[in-house]
Amino acid sequence: MSEKNPFPNENNSGHIWDNDLRELLNDPPTWWRIGFHASWILVIVYTILYPSWPMLTTHYKGVMGWTAMGEYKEDLQSLEQIRAKYEDQLPGKSAAAIMADDELSNYVMKSAKVLFGDNCAACHGGGGAGNPSYPILADDDWLYGGTANEIITSITNGRKGVMTAHSKSLSTAEIDELANAVMKGEPTSSPLFMTKACFACHGPDGKGISAMGSANLTDGIYRFAEEDQLASIKYTITHGVNDASDPATRNAEMPTFGGSKLSETDIKKLAIYVHKLGGGK
């Protein structure tokens, strides 16, 4: 630092390094000062308008009365107004009437997708793609029938198909014969189908009876689809389905959603969704 200021006519602080490197005392630029003042004014105005300062047991609420919760509730209300246009029509309309209305069924598909994800996808898979031992809902093969009303009944009352175990009434050779006939899609080609009373539940043509949920055995679509399909068929014939007398029986129970679990309108929505997913009848 030099003794005498070599730049006396300049607004410097007198701090000079290396003979000419010096500190000036200029005012900050105007644009910067405007920005600085605008920002603290904004902070004060903001803290007056909106909830801000914490206090001992509460907080300053702001003169606008704004709350995050209030804003959320307003948004929700306007959303419900949009929904109400459709929701109000649903209880009075049959599933068939809703499906005939493009705008209404579009709304139902979107709304039911969420319901399906929450209540059904854990068993039936996303989009009704099925899971081992839970039936596929996205195809046109139905155990209990694929009309909207049959689907509504499935969801409302639940389903529990019963097939008796045959481990005691059939020999291994007989089970083999029947399983191979089913595998070929021609269950009736084995005389055992009649003599061992399979027809009583699966129908004389082997195509199933929807009132019982007995699977169609002629279409090559398997309710209990497994990698080794022949072994899976043998297992079903041997141990049956939901037969309490056989501890190894297959369990297949569709829970009841009627009553307090889901409203009638939600069930109607889901039935339309499932109907449209696959080949509703």
Query: What does the binding site for ligand HEC look like in residue numbers (CB under 6 A)?
Result: 119-120, 122-124, 134-135, 137, 142-144, 151, 154-155, 159-164, 166, 178, 182, 196-198, 200-202, 212-215, 217, 222-224, 233, 236-237, 241, 252-255, 257, 270, 274
Shortest separation between residue 109's beta carbon and ligand HEC, angstroms: 13
174-210 burial, b at 16+ Cβ within 10 Å, e below that, comes to bbebbbbbbbeeebbebebbeebebbebbbeebbbbb
Shortest separation between residue 73's beta carbon and ligand HEC, angstroms: 29
Shortest separation between residue 111's beta carbon and ligand HEC, angstroms: 13
- If the CB atoms of residues 107 and 142 are measured against ligand HEC, the closer one turns out to be 142
Shortest separation between residue 40's beta carbon and ligand HEC, angstroms: 58
What separation in angstroms does the CA of 208 have from each of 41, 101, 119, 198, 211?
79, 33, 28, 10, 9
- If the CB atoms of residues 98 and 217 are measured against ligand HEC, the closer one turns out to be 217
Shortest separation between residue 203's beta carbon and ligand HEC, angstroms: 10
Shortest separation between residue 76's beta carbon and ligand HEC, angstroms: 25
